[in-house]
């Protein structure tokens, strides 16, 4: 039983690692594409318009800036029309091609602050105000798998 469990774990691990590790061998019909980040947001009753206004203003401005810089490929806002108990109300979806190192991350943060004309303190204060009615319910990170050309 123990050997079976270990074999199952090893097989499951290989199933997730193999497409990327074996790309050099050209055996896989797919190849890695963009990363997709999904942030899940719960909004308190009576604050949907307030949060939608924030999204239409600051969030949109920041995402459009990131897209214009080539940092992200796109973004969308999805609304859960019929959320069940405990499910998020809003999903913020962002596609990006790769992760950046620390130096690039710092340069982007500076460019973003300059563009938004906000200090770190301003951003933290805004986040604290939104946290009164907007709650992060979690994040997920996906990787798009693209079909290879035939």
Please list the rounded mean pLDDT of every run of 10 residues in the chain (150 residues). 41 48 72 97 97 98 98 98 96 97 97 95 95 97 94
The pLDDT, as a whole number, for residue 25 is 62
110 Cβ contact list (under 8 Å, min separation 6): none
What does residue 111 show for φ and ψ, rounded to 5 degrees?
A: -60, -40
The pLDDT, as a whole number, for residue 24 is 56
The pLDDT, as a whole number, for residue 20 is 56
What does residue 137 show for φ and ψ, rounded to 5 degrees?
A: -100, -5
120 Cβ contact list (under 8 Å, min separation 6): 113
């Amino acid at each position: 039983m123990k050997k079976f469990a270990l074999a199952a774990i090893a097989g499951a691990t290989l199933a997730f690692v193999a497409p990327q590790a074996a790309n050099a061998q050209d055996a896989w019909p797919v190849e890695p594409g963009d990363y997709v980040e999904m942030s899940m947001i719960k909004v308190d009753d009576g604050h949907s318009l307030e949060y939608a206004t924030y999204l239409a203003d600051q969030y949109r401005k920041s995402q459009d800036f990131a897209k214009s810089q080539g940092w992200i490929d796109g973004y969308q806002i999805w609304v859960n029309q019929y959320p069940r108990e405990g499910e998020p109300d809003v999903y913020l979806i962002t596609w990006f091609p790769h992760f950046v190192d620390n130096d690039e991350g710092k340069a982007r943060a500076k460019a973003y602050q300059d563009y938004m004309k906000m200090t770190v303190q301003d951003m933290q204060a805004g986040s604290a105000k939104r946290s009164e009615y907007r709650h992060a319910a979690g994040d997920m990170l996906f990787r798009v798998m693209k079909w290879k050309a035939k």
